[in-house]
Chain A
């Protein structure tokens, strides 16, 4: 367990007048943030009196690692998400992506990094003032691309013996344009006459040679006045050596042995010409030939032309042992690191690249996590390398998978921002065996700010089989609607969640409201429930009751009467609603045509009797209401008795 690094701790000062006398308290929030406040319960020191002044109490939100929300970072996050999902889907289809597919994905990631860098650079160059933040970001992105491209060469491409150095030389050429800078200076200088007279002429040639760019060296040499007059043999000699330098080409199906033989032959020729004094007249050409011979001494002399130990390493090996394999690279690293000041001088980038040369994948990932300040690179790199079978299964104490751990960390850094929630869902879906568990936890923390968002989250949960979470979301939305007295909306959520018990509660509420006010609040929904009305008995009752009203409005009195009778007889109605139902009989009874026959009227009277006995309904009413109720019941009894009489007679 590592000790907390006090040198690297970040400090922030919180200004608050209350904190002169009270202690600072803080609570963790989700993501990288804290809420700090002055706690009036504790005192900063024992002798200070409690501050009872009128200072308002402030809540300070402190957050860090918010760089994932800059516009360029958002582009990175969204574009790379597509590639990430593509990798996972490919793995699902074919078990494991092939090397060429992995290479394609790796190049996709790199091109995203490059386009982000270009955008930053455009902004940087376009702004009038020096923006330190932008510069830091540019450095970060170019560093990430550098690391990624090296890892791509060493781990993903993992070329057969003999070709890795060619790729590394290319890598140097593209990422360290020191030679191009010199050449450009030479060509741009007007006050020196010809480029050959520029003081940077020979450094340009040396650096081009060190980067293995022999044809460009030849071009530069041709500019030398001595070359043009062809007076000196040294130029012709070196030109020939440069021209004949064998370059291993994998595509020409040349075997390594064949190439090695050719190369050794060429190398011997270089050495022979050097010792033969071919270049003694021109010290600069002598230096150049020593480079071609792979002379170790020259490395020491030209140290200042190299930017770093890794460029030196690659140059040296190119002229000493061009067919070296990937696994042997690290034997040579120590020597060059020592030249540049030893292990203690190594910066973060150096450590990461060293780990890569040592072919220690887990060390690369560890160093990236420690030094880069963003989880993006280690997460995506580890994911890709996982499919190369290079990432070891566990480095953490809890035994979690490296890849899974990194994905969770990355998504934590994104979950600070509400807008990234679909990205987090995508990453968590593919993080391993515990995907559904993490997803379930995350989904519950997504703020459901609108119905549309809730619908989107539900759709995602349904796709991944997180049915419990769907229920939970429906419940939340339902409760929110109830709080705002939106019974119809709450009912629609119940139906979606198939929650018949809550549907019953809502239906009962609606009925109570009708009983109280005589108005239905959500007819537009009830009338169009379709088959969902069967979900709960109360709801079915409500639907049928509305049908009764519709029949009555359409003047189908006989049918309406029958329906009403049915509702009472079947005892489906809640007891508190019986008074309303029975009162609904009154207008029917007062009609001229006989709606109810003897049996039916008797049944209704029986219901009235039952009601009389159930005193508890009347307990909740006030005096006036009770009086009214009794009057109504009397009236009803009278009407029913009259109807009975009519029915018997007819």
Chain B
């Protein structure tokens, strides 16, 4: 496993691979969104081919000279980047702590990053905490418990669930074209229907009796009824949304809050998680619901990055390469993670 660590002089809150046109192609560009800085920005980086060289101890290590990510372009942003996604290979959407949503376009020819559109003051109290894109729609959730669904070409939100969650919403994901799922700080996983006339969620599932916050959620790429969410207690909770409200199973993976969880898009038996304890771990399971609910332990946990001394805020996986970003202003690029 080749690993490369770079100090980028910015605290990174979100890191994302740029999507490639085919799944076989290796992504060589990624974006980072910074936070808690005097001047925050979204930056595009290029990473070359990670070659392995055999050192004198006969271990293969990354050829650091060629593997270090290089800064390509950046765009100043007036607020902490709390949520960031590539809506497609040219458009990045970002939810900011100022409560605004920014749409930034990456010009592939000129290698420039420009703000194309922005929605101001959607979340006046607490700012936006996460964003998800399913073009032409973009959804943003905030600390004020509101959900705003926007269309890419319209200034006014398409649909707003104003203060529909009593507590701050921590993450949002699109389940399909009209359904969203969100997690909040009292451990609830909720499903919302954008077409619904009422402002209430269609389903509420509680992950624990003791109101432990849920920080992130991701949907299984092929078995779309399976949702995995990470909590403040370091547990990964699996839900089967076809079944009743209680979670299917709960696994203690980390010691502290799990900030981000991702299913691998093409090999969905893997879940990657990163945590406040500074580590990145990988779960390997076939996600057979029957076996899981009976407590059968066909789950394998391995550590990809040991505790690095500061919080691991974000991760993204594409093919065999993983990116992760820490509070110590550093970025890891790791190859051969599956």
Contacts and interface: CB of A to CB of B under 8 A. Distances in A.
A524 interface: yes
A549 interface: no
B186 A528 contact: yes
A453 B276 CA distance: 12
Given A79-B7, A489-B168, A528-B204, A450 B145 contact: no
B194 to A, nearest CB: 18
A488 B166 CA distance: 5
A459 B256 contact: yes
Contact of B7 (A78, A85, A418, A486): A78
B129 A75 contact: no
A65 to B, nearest CB: 15
A455 B213 contact: yes
Given A419-B37, A489-B168, A525-B166, A451 B211 contact: no
B125 A484 contact: yes
A431 B3 CA distance: 33
Given A71-B9, A450-B97, A85 B309 contact: yes
Interface string A439-472: 0000000000111110110010000000000000
A69 B38 contact: yes
B37 A422 contact: no
A363 interface: no
Contacts of A452: 82, 129, 170
Contacts of A521: 166
A531 B201 contact: no
Contact of B206 (A85, A487, A491, A528): A528
Nearest to A112: B7
A114 B180 CA distance: 50
A350 to B, nearest CB: 33
Given A422-B311, A522-B166, A524-B165, A486 B210 contact: no
A222 interface: no
Contacts of B144: 484, 486
Contact of B328 (A82, A495, A524): A82
Interface string A365-392: 0000000000000000000000000000
B211 A74 contact: no
Interface in B209-235: 209-211, 213, 232
Contact of B201 (A422, A492, A524, A530): A524
B126 A450 contact: yes
B318 interface: no
Contacts of A495: 211
Given A81-B328, A459-B256, A487 B166 contact: yes
Contacts of A531: 209-210
B257 interface: yes
A452 B208 CA distance: 19
Nearest to B40: A419
Q: Is the interface of A mostly helix, strand, loop or mixed?
A: helix
Interface in A385-422: 417-419, 421-422
Interface string A491-532: 110011000000000000000000000000110110111111
A23 interface: no
A76 to B, nearest CB: 9
Contacts of B167: 488-489, 492, 525
Contacts of A245: none
A642 B58 CA distance: 94
Interface in A71-114: 71-72, 74-75, 78-79, 81-82, 85
Given A450-B97, A451-B168, A525 B309 contact: no
A74 B257 contact: no
Nearest to B245: A528
A530 B145 contact: no
B210 A532 contact: yes
Contacts of A524: 164-166, 188, 200-201, 204
A419 B311 CA distance: 13
B185 interface: yes
Nearest to A531: B209
Contacts of B213: 455
Interface string B1-13: 0000001011100
Contacts of A72: 9
A486 B9 contact: no
A202 to B, nearest CB: 39
B7 A75 contact: yes
B11 A419 contact: yes
Nearest to A529: B211
B28 interface: no
Contacts of A75: 7, 9, 329
Contacts of A532: 210-211
B36 interface: yes
Contact of B186 (A71, A419, A525): A525
A85 B328 CA distance: 13
B5 to A, nearest CB: 10
B327 interface: yes
Given A524-B165, A525-B166, A455 B232 contact: yes
B97 A528 contact: no
Interface in B84-112: 97
Contact of B329 (A78, A451, A488, A530): A78
A422 B310 contact: yes
A456 B311 contact: yes
Nearest to B13: A452
Nearest to A525: B166
A193 B311 CA distance: 62
B156 to A, nearest CB: 23
A492 B185 contact: yes
Nearest to B259: A452
Contacts of A527: 204
A104 to B, nearest CB: 17
A72 B38 CA distance: 15
Contact of B309 (A82, A486, A492, A528): A82
A641 B121 CA distance: 57
Contact of A530 (B126, B164, B210): B210
A79 B309 CA distance: 10
A418 B36 CA distance: 6
Contact of A78 (B166, B168, B330): B330
Contact of A449 (B7, B97, B125): B97
B127 interface: yes
B143 interface: yes
A524 to B, nearest CB: 5
Interface string B301-334: 0000000111100000000000000011110000
Nearest to B9: A71
A521 B167 CA distance: 12
A123 to B, nearest CB: 12
Interface string A310-327: 000000000000000000
A10 B43 CA distance: 37
Nearest to A74: B9
Contact of B38 (A417, A451, A487, A492): A417
B89 to A, nearest CB: 29
A532 B211 CA distance: 8
Contact of B166 (A421, A449, A489): A489
Contacts of A449: 80, 97
25 contacts: A71-B9, A74-B9, A78-B330, A81-B310, A85-B309, A419-B36, A422-B310, A422-B327, A450-B80, A453-B36, A455-B185, A455-B213, A456-B276, A487-B166, A488-B167, A491-B166, A521-B166, A524-B200, A524-B204, A525-B186, A527-B204, A528-B186, A528-B188, A530-B206, A532-B211
Instruction: List the 5 closest pairs (A to B, CB-CB), nearest first.
Output: A488-B166, A71-B9, A525-B166, A522-B166, A530-B209
Given A450-B127, A492-B186, 7 more contacts: A81-B309, A422-B328, A452-B170, A455-B232, A456-B276, A489-B143, A492-B211
